[in-house]
Chain A
Amino acid sequence: MRVTNRIKRSLPLAGAALALVLAVGARGDAPDRWWSPGEGRVLPASLDYTNEHGALRTLVVGGPLKTRGHPFFEPLGANGRACVTCHQPADAMSLSARTAQERWEATGGKDPLFAAIDGSNCPILPQGEKASHSLLLERGLFRVQRPWPVRAFNGQPVTPDFTIEVVRDPNGCNSAPGYGPGAGNVSVYRRVRPVANMKYLLAVGFPFDPKQGYALPLDPDDGKPQSGNLMADNRAGNLRLQMEDASSVHLEFARALTPAQIKRIRDFELSIYTAQQSSPAAGGGLDTMGATGGPAKLRDSQPGALGSIGTPVWSEFAAWDRISAEDAAKLTPQQLAFRQSVARGARVFRDRTFLITDSAGINSRMGFGNPVRNSCVFCHNMTQMGNDVAPGQVDLGTTTQPFADPWDDLPLFRITCLNQPHPHYGKIILTYDPGFALTSGKCADVGKITLQSMRGLSARAPYFSNGLAKDLRGVVDYYERRYKIGYTEQEKQDLVNLMSVL
């Protein structure tokens, strides 16, 4: 089975990529791709896995790590899952839809990954059927059940300034007995966020959350300002709160994590770095010919810097704008062209501006104006990481009509704002996932999703919180549609190439 999968993986790859896959495969990469809970393997200090665009490298500071008995890797709860089930090294510590499909095929759907609780469209559905897991298999989505009315990041109840009604419930988890707003909960479906490079997601650049109009909230554990960059809806203010939620929900772990377990998980989360390391299309390492791609740079840099006032975002690849004739001679013309395209892509990302409209968090309530001219880097502004230095809750439209794709396999909610109407949608909003509003309780926050890290993208398709972009081109196409950018075909390809090497 594993071998078949590996060959299937290689099929779409052209010449050089195929050679690379086979070379890595020969080193024994492929059989080890899937990390099963409790298998007790040693996680090497440096580990490469291939993907469609080359190879991803994972670095563990202080590694190798013995995973036997480690709470991130052991099945703590009733369903046989561990954290690693959904946060896989080969998938940039996230989980791609393709990996979910491979697990289904390899286990006949018996892998704990598909546990009814959130690895199926809804626990009320017949669990043996593939169709009951279609959202995970097709778009890599897990069910996330939030309390209704709302609870804030610190678990405090919040009185929402909106009502929520279920317009459509294709899976039953918003209307069957025990489910839905009437029963005190709301189910949405989301992608796994990568658990790596965490120091960047926890970094605090400035003392304020300008999108909410307050100083940053303080961490209940250490009293320091919180970054506000965890989880699609920012429901967990720090790693402890996040892992307590994760262990009780995803792992169905009935007890509380011990302080020792919390510390070990946290230490691990802070020690793991991942990024694309090599690209056959570029003819080799992403840290060659002056570039500084790959996870080592991430590990060794200070987190939290704003690209616009320091090291520009994706300047890792600036040297490829001026590859010397001597270096160029070592590359095929295609490889040279690819490297130049990546360097251009970084400039397109930073400098090619367009009108950003109707995106709450940016166009309201902050005073940037609606519209405002800017580029990708306006929101994806942290050096080396491409997340937001400020808490990154922005409504890109990915989960909300009219901009979201018309997925009829997702639940659809009608939000009615009780006080002020939403500044861009008005009083009534149709959404698949209210996002941050499920934490803040504010209708002005409906549809806001926390920006993710942009590293290791090649290993973890599909993209966006609800998996609407099936590949990197799909990401660019979404932005093109959303903001009518008018990118040339070359600019689109440059952006795709850039993102493929992050």
Chain B
Amino acid sequence: MRSLITLAALALPLSAQAAETGDLVRFVSCPVYRDADSGKKSGCWLATDPATGRRWDVSQSPYKPNWDFAVLVEGRVSAASADPCGAPVLDPVRTSILPDPCTRHMLPAEGYKGRKFVLPPRNIQPLSVARPVPPGPYAERVFTTYFEFDRDFLVYQYDDFIIDNAATWIRAAKPKKLVVTGFAATEPETVSGRTLAERPEIARDRAEAIAETLRRLLPGLPVETKWEVGAKPTGDPDADTIPGQSQRRAEIRAVF
């Protein structure tokens, strides 16, 4: 983290311009928890871009920070004028936990309310609720799941939703097999003065994790795995316009 601060200082003049709505913001820093309280899951996550000194509200990430570790923040400046956490909002936003240790910091609410929890739009129904059969015609189709930086863990209320929809469609469409391709963003990039690259083996881990889940959900259907490194961004809407998110993915291809 020491090198992070020195390099960030050098970068300051470049990136200190005012951020405009929709701008992509990307940095590494230690997250700060603000103990806002509007009931369950209402606390705030803040993170300061070391290059600009600007503090952002990053609470809307589907995978939230751990105050003991640095986070890679990737988000877009939101048009929202409200600041329930006491900082301008990045939304959509992602906060990936990195292995670099951080000192825990917690701010009091200071009058900020945080956000009353609402179920995110990507949430699945209990099994007791029948899934409507998706209409045909059925042809080769790809479903894409997304991951935190350098991890293969299925994201709650994000990937489970995508996979539940995929499995419902696949049950109706009855493809011959599934091919799961894991991708890893292995090209090094410099963020906040730090070189970040995903480990190549995470591409395979992603493919295998998703394949195992599909084998459990769709017993009897053959599932093959492949993997690719050097992933490039895509425009898939489920990556919520975050290029880095679109790189960290696994594709489920239904083959007829």
Contacts and interface: CB of A to CB of B under 8 A. Distances in A.
Interface string B31-52: 0010101011111010000000
A204 B216 contact: no
B114 to A, nearest CB: 8
Nearest to B45: A369
Contacts of B152: 213
Contacts of B156: 208, 210, 366-368
Interface residues of A, number: 38
B164 interface: yes
Interface residues of B, number: 41
Interface in A353-368: 353, 355, 363-368
Contacts of B163: 215
A25 B156 CA distance: 52
A372 B45 CA distance: 10
Interface stretch (A72-80, A137-145, A172-180, A373-381): A373-381
B61 A214 contact: no
B40 A353 contact: yes
A304 interface: yes
A108 interface: no
B42 A304 contact: no
Nearest to A370: B66
A373 B216 contact: no
A367 B156 CA distance: 7
B64 A304 contact: no
Given A364-B66, A366-B156, A367-B156, A225 B216 contact: yes
Interface stretch (A120-128, A216-224, A264-272, A288-296): A216-224
Interface of B: 33, 35, 37, 39-43, 45, 61-68, 106, 124, 126-128, 148, 151-157, 160, 163-164, 167, 209, 212-214, 216-217, 219
A205 interface: yes
B126 A206 contact: yes
Interface of A: 204-208, 210, 213-218, 223, 225, 302, 304-306, 309, 351, 353, 355, 363-375, 378, 423-424
Nearest to B151: A365
A367 B62 contact: yes
Given A215-B212, A368-B41, 5 more contacts: A214-B209, A365-B153, A369-B45, A371-B33, A378-B40
Nearest to B156: A210
Contact of B216 (A206, A218, A305, A353): A218
Contacts of A423: 66, 68
B37 A373 contact: yes
